[in-house]
Chains A and B, each alone.
Chain A
Amino acid sequence: MTAAQPLPTLEITALEKRFGETQVLRSIDLKVQNGELVFVIGPSGSGKSTMLRCCNRLEEPTSGAIHVSGKPMLGIPRKELDRMRLQVGMVFQGFFLYPHLTALKNVTLAQRKALKRPRAEAEARALEMLDKVGLKHKADAMPSELSGGQQQRVAIARALALDPKVMLFDEPTSALDPELVGSVLKVMRDLREGGMTMIVVSHEMQFAREAADRVVFMDGGVIVEEGPPEEIFGNPKSDRLKAFLSRVSGEAA
């Protein structure tokens, strides 16, 4: 008798996405288990960001299914979608903090309006999350007064404060100056140690080697190869992955 498979925190089934004539994603299948950090790599235009954005329906999939802890993300009424989105935290390449609100208010807004938490509770939770990303002392700062790295950490706190089941990171360090990347990666490492389920689209290969449970390589809208980081980086099988890795290491050198 085999043990029942645990319910994946995020499950992508036969996901397809077309923009007009262009097929961006074709039959993507991916299961992410609780506490897992899945790292997605691939050349630009390979569809990795689109896949991520389909997971919380910032992009509308053409067909397929997305489930979060067994509950469908597709084919549900808008109000239900808003509730489901609370369980899927998203961190963007461009941070997108609300520039007219303080760091604290950035983190309390959705707690108050979407989760309907009372003000005191939302603020306590926000301070806790800002502390977690090392920015409690910046609670009253406006986004324009923060560095890019600090803005991104506030954006992570904003998503975490809603107690998501899974966090999606869409190239979270690509817009940062090199010296600020480390502070964001450190927060992500802490999150992983805290057991957060994460999908990370990024070019930080070193981080993938150290922190990922599994690396997924995408090219041309399909998952070409996936496996533990030591397999993907140490023993790539497909020619496309080999070519990609040599290009990337060439850039880094």
Chain B
Amino acid sequence: MDTIIDAFFNIDIMRQATPLLLKGAWVTLQLCAVVILLGLCGGLALALLASSRSALLRLPAFVFIDIFRAIPPLILLILIYAGLPFVGVRVPPFVAVCIAFLLNNSAYFAEIFRSGIKAIPRGQMEAARATGLSPSQAQAWVILPQAIRNVLPDLLSNVVEIVKLTSIASVVSLSELLYSANMARAVTYNSSPLVMAAGLYLLLLWPLVRVISRFQRGLSISH
């Protein structure tokens, strides 16, 4: 029993690792803010293209969505970070992570937005257009507000996934939470910093997870 506590829940080691882990948590938060924002914007743009009436716009959007939903984001990240220098493009770790996440997240967010848009009855668009609103005005003021409200739980679930996924940035030596914790583990030869990192993720995500399940309960009651 003592061995387990000593190996995973060592208070002394956790105390030593705290400054490093907090720094890592801060990097993770910054990274999340940037990649979530990028993913939401990219996803919305893709969803609008994918919902377009013109096949010329729709087709490339679908190809993009399918490709980047199928490629593991870790491969994307390593390709960008370690592969691009061979063609003369050197990107810093933070930027590499942002690009990889933009490609991957936009595809996921696009699917969520698109399903929301698709679920809005055709009459809503017709009513809006019949009152002289242009197609983009109708999207902005009539379709999207309803679509986004309908898929809010899915959007939030995806945000949770993204926050957890930012830990893959550790493979390109970005000193985010997991990288920092793993450093501390290597130096102290003890797994407690990793447990602490998991605890910090839990602390960060638990409120969000609560909100989502409340949402889903609320929806199932009102439907």
Contact A82:B133 (CB < 8 A) given known A99-B146, A100-B145, A100-B149: yes
Q: Could you say which of B10-18, B65-73, B119-127 contacts chain A?
A: B119-127
Chain B residues with Cβ below 8 Å from A82 are: 129, 132-134
Which of A83, A86, A109 has the most chain B CB within a 10 Å cutoff?
Answer: A109
User: A158 contacts B131, CB within 8 Å?
Assistant: yes
Interface size of B as a range: 10 to 19
Contact B123–A94 (Cβ < 8 Å): yes
The proximity string for A residues 37-72 relative to B, scoring 1 for CB distances below 8 Å and 0 otherwise, is 000000000000000000010100000000000000
**CB pair A86 B129 closer than 8 Å:** no
A162 to B133, CA, bound (A): 12
A159 contact set on B, CB distance < 8 A: 130-131
Q: With an 8 A cutoff between CB atoms, is A79 at the interface?
A: yes
Residues 105 to 139 of chain B near chain A (Cβ within 8 Å): 121, 123-124, 126-134, 137
Whether A79 contacts B132 in the complex (CB less than 8 A), given A100-B145, A100-B149, A113-B141, comes out as no
Which residues of A lie under 8 Å from residue B127 when comparing CB positions?
A: 90, 92, 96-98, 155
**Minimum CB distance partner of B138 in chain A:** A113
CA distance in complex: A113, B146 (Å):
18
Interface size band for A? 20 to 34
- Flag if B123 contacts A114 (CB, 8 Å): no
| Contacts A92-B123, A99-B146 given; does A85 touch B130 at CB 8 Å | yes
A182 to B124, CA, bound (A): 25
Task: Given A99-B146, A113-B137, decide whether A90 and B123 contact each other with a Cβ distance below 8 A.
Answer: no
Q: Does B168 contact A (CB under 8 A)?
A: no
- Contact, CB under 8 Å: A96 / B132: no
| A245 to B7 Cα, complex, angstroms | 89
A110 and B146 contact, Cβ closer than 8 Å, known pairs A58-B126, A96-B121, A96-B126: no
Which residues on A sit within 8 Å (CB–CB) of B22?
none
A78 beta carbon closer than 8 Å to chain B = yes
Contact (Cβ within 8 A) B124 A83: no
The residue on A at minimum CB distance from B145 is A100
- Contact status A85-B131, CB under 8 Å: yes
> Is B123's CB under 8 angstroms from A85's CB?
no
**How far, in angstroms, from A155 to B131 measured CA to CA in the complex?**
11
Query: A115 contacts the other chain (Cβ, under 8 Å)?
Result: yes
Whether A113 contacts B124 in the complex (CB less than 8 A), given A98-B142, A100-B145, comes out as no
Shortest C-beta distance, B97 to chain A (Å), equals: 36
Which residues does chain A contribute within 8 Å of B134, judged by CB atoms? Answer: 78-79, 82, 114
Partner of A110 from B121, B126, B132 at Cβ < 8 Å: B132
A84 to chain B minimum Cβ distance, whole angstroms, is 8
B122 to chain A, nearest CB (A): 9
Whether A114 and B121, one on each chain, are in contact in the complex, defined by CB atoms closer than 8 angstroms, is: no
For B131, the chain A residues whose CB sits under 8 A away are 85-86, 90, 109-110, 114, 158-159, 162
Residues on A with beta carbons closer than 8 Å to the beta carbon of B128: 98, 110
Q: Which residues of chain B have C-beta atoms less than 8 A from A89's C-beta?
A: 130
Complex interface residues of chain A between 165 and 220 (CB less than 8 A to chain B): none
28 interchain pairs, CB-CB under 8 A: A78-B134, A79-B134, A83-B132, A85-B131, A86-B132, A92-B127, A94-B123, A96-B121, A96-B123, A96-B127, A97-B127, A98-B124, A98-B128, A98-B142, A98-B146, A99-B146, A100-B149, A109-B133, A110-B128, A110-B132, A114-B132, A114-B133, A114-B134, A114-B137, A115-B132, A155-B127, A158-B131, A162-B131
B residues touching A (Cβ–Cβ < 8 Å)?
Answer: 121, 123-124, 126-134, 137, 141-142, 145-146, 149
Closest 5 CB pairs of A and B: A110-B131, A114-B132, A96-B127, A96-B123, A86-B132
Binding site for B on A (CB under 8 A): 56, 58, 78-79, 82-83, 85-86, 88-90, 92, 94, 96-100, 109-110, 113-115, 155, 158-159, 162
